[in-house]
């Protein structure tokens, strides 16, 4: 089968470690550290106080603005600490937690009472006869965010401006990130919920056409999804190529439409949702259960028992590793990554909690990682060959090193999707993606400054 998009790489996929293991539900933990910013946008606003008794599914913090999402309690118990800042507004390490990016983020700590008593679920919505607003409001109040990794509030994605002509809902089951098998297992085990969730989402968007995109290294998932979907959705399988699951690449593969530069997928008439989000939407609309747990792959060669676990948000990494029976004695761990090896973040602390977008916890052995010294660019052009967005990574990286952010902006650094293909291909081991992130933050800061003037 031909390639579905320009560029791309073939990293070692490592999915065999956990692909065969069924989803297991994690036991109740004694403590959950629930961050208040598990989504893109404003952190949620606290509505509980220290010492309050909460029930499973109870709202701990409510959405603070349009692009925000509420946070729900993962279990019943007592709020033992709430987020605190210093008098000057700086985050303190007490009562907050280290987030996946290594910086302190506001958090609440809940001590479990062991009863795991759920609060009254929200009433079931008869979604087939409900209007779009009812469904989207439910998705907003249950705190559903994109579970593929970006954690963008789903309700925002489902409320496009009325003048945009959306005709296709694309479900992302590509799971192109190596090692991760959470979506794969979900498609095998919860196929009906995924399709139902997709029907609900399609209803909310008012679209007829549903396409489920799956990479063809998961033939069992393609088979099951095709059987379950029937005539309700079209299942398309694509050749294996990283980053097949990136939004713009998936839209092109499914519909042959291109998202215009600097725009959102709705310009191409598409909305892309992760399959995990579909299950969350199904649970929220049909069963009235808010989002506080997700499927996470725990894998890597040092892990004793790699597998896929249903984890509640706020479970810290040390407990996650205990679930996987720890690490092998003879394999020294080199790195712990939250997410996949291409786009995930290396962690230095085991107190980092699982958030709504944690698709995997990956451990790499010491012989699998290496500390490189970054060398000057030799203009070999491999990064240009592999860039799925058709950018010129080499040129941009040199511009950014010279702090010429305006030039980098003209070279379209803002279109970078941070997939990591260029860094993967670079023979000089240049920290390319990191440079682009730096440039993006500088350019955004400059734009904010200009708009204030």
Partner 1 sequence: MNLETLMTAVLFMAGTGLTLGLIIALANKFFAIEEDPRVEQTEDLLPGANCGGCGYAGCTAFAKALVAGGVEPSKCPVNSEEANSAISQLLGLELSFSEPHVAIIKCCGDNVESPEKALYNGVNDCKSAVLVAGATKSCQHGCLGLASCSRACPFNAIEINDKGIAIVHPDICVGCGKCVETCPRHLIDLVPKSANVHILCNSPEKAPLQRKACTKGCIGCRKCIKEAGDDSVHMQGFLAVLDYTKKAPMSIIDVCPVKCIQPTLGVEYVPEPKKAAPSVKTLPCHTKLGIEGTVDKAVIKKAFAQKVAAAKAESPDDKEAVADLTKAFKAANALADKFGAEKPAPAEVTNA
Q: Which residues contact partner 1 by CB under 8 A?
A: 86-88, 90-94, 98-99, 101-104, 345-346, 348-349, 371-372, 431, 434-435, 437-438, 441-442
Query: Rounded distance, CA 322 to CA 329, Å?
Result: 14
Containing 235, the helix (H) or strand (E) segment is strand 234-238
- Apex 339 CA angle, 116 and 356, nearest 5: 35
Beta pairing partners, 45? 62
Shortest separation between residue 108's beta carbon and partner 1, angstroms: 18
For partner 1, the closer CB: 66 or 372? 372
Which residues contact residue 148 at a Cβ distance below 8 angstroms, ignoring those fewer than 6 apart?
A: 172, 183, 245, 274, 276, 277, 357, 359
Based on CB atoms, which residue is closest to partner 1, 256 or 449? 449
CB of 444 to partner 1, least distance (A): 11
Instruction: Please report, for residues 81, 83, 179, 337, the alpha-carbon distance to residue 96 in angstroms, rounded to integers and kept in the order given.
Output: 9, 5, 30, 21
If we measure between CA atoms, which residue out of 220, 201, 208 comes closest to residue 272?
201
Q: Is residue 328 a contact partner of residue 181, using CB atoms and an 8 Å limit? A: no
Query: Residue 346: enclosing H or E segment and its boundaries?
Result: strand 345-346
Cα–Cα distance list, 15 to 177, 214, 294, 320 (Å): 9, 15, 19, 19
Q: How far is the CB of 351 from partner 1 (least distance, A)?
A: 12
- State the nearest-atom distance from the C-beta of 317 to partner 1, in Å: 14
Q: Which is nearer to partner 1, 237 or 316 (CB)?
A: 316
Distance (Å, rounded) from C-alpha 361 to C-alpha 31?
19
Q: How far is the CB of 87 from partner 1 (least distance, A)?
A: 4
Closest CB to partner 1 among residues 88, 129: 88
CA distances (Å), origin 265, targets 169, 234, 411 = 11, 19, 21
For residue 101, the minimal CB distance to partner 1 (Å) is 6
User: In terms of DSSP bridges, do strands 168-173 and 333-338 run parallel, antiparallel, or are they unpaired?
Assistant: unpaired
> Given the complex with partner 1, which of 218 and 430 has the nearer CB atom?
430
Quote the CA–CA distance of 155 and 137 in Å, as a whole number. Answer: 7
Least gap, CB of 85 to partner 1 (angstroms): 8
Residues written for the chain: 453
Decide whether 2 or 376 has the Cβ nearer to partner 1: 376
Nearer to partner 1, 25 or 349 (CB): 349
31 close to 14: Cβ distance less than 8 angstroms: no
Whichever of 91 and 407 has its CB closer to partner 1, that residue is 91
Q: Least distance (Å) from partner 1 to the CB of residue 291?
A: 26
Q: Cβ 106 to partner 1, closest distance in Å?
A: 14
């Amino acid at each position: 089968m031909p390639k579905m998009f320009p560029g791309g790489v073939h990293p070692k996929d490592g999915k065999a470690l956990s692909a065969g293991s069924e989803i297991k539900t994690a036991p109740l933990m004694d403590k959950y550290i629930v961050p208040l910013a598990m989504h893109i946008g404003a952190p949620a606003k606290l509505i509980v106080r220290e010492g309050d008794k909460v029930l499973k599914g109870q709202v701990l913090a409510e959405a603070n603005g349009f692009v925000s999402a509420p946070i729900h309690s993962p279990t019943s118990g007592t709020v033992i600490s709430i987020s605190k800042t210093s008098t000057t507004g700086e985050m303190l390490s007490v009562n907050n937690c280290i987030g996946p990016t290594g910086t302190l983020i506001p958090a609440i700590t809940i001590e479990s009472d062991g009863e795991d008593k759920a609060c009254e679920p929200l009433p079931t919505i008869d979604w087939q006869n409900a209007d779009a607003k009812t469904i989207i409001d439910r998705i907003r109040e249950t705190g559903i965010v994109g579970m593929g990794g970006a954690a963008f509030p789903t309700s925002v994605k489902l409320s496009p401006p009325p003048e945009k002509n959306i005709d296709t809902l694309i479900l992302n089951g590509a799971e192109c990130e190596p090692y991760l098998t959470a979506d794969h297992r979900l498609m095998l085990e919860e196929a009906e919920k995924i399709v139902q969730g997709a029907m609900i989402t399609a209803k909310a968007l008012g679209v007829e056409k549903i396409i489920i995109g799956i990479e063809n290294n998961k033939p069992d998932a393609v088979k099951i999804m095709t059987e379950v979907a029937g005539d309700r959705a079209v299942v398309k399988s694509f050749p294996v190529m990283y980053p097949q699951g990136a939004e713009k690449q998936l839209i092109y593969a499914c519909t042959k439409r291109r998202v215009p530069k600097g725009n959102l997928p709705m310009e191409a008439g598409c909305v892309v949702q992760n399959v995990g989000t579909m299950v969350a939407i199904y649970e929220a609309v049909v069963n009235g259960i808010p989002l506080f747990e997700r499927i996470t792959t725990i894998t890597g060669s040092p892990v004793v028992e790699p597998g896929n676990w249903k984890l509640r948000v706020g479970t810290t990494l040390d407990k996650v590793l205990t679930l996987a029976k720890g690490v092998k004695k003879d394999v020294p761990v080199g790195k712990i990554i939250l997410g996949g090896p291409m786009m995930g973040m290396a962690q230095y602390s085991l107190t980092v909690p699982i958030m709504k977008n944690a698709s995997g916890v990956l451990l790499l052995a010491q012989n699998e990682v290496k500390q490189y010294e970054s060398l000057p660019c030799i203009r070999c052009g491999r990064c240009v060959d592999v860039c799925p967005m058709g950018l010129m990574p080499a040129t941009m990286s040199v511009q950014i090193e010279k702090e010429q952010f305006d030039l980098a902006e003209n070279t379209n650094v803002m279109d970078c999707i941070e997939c990591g293909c260029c860094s993967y291909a670079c023979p000089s081991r240049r920290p390319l993606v990191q440079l682009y992130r730096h440039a993006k933050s500088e350019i955004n800061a400059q734009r904010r400054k200009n708009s204030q003037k």
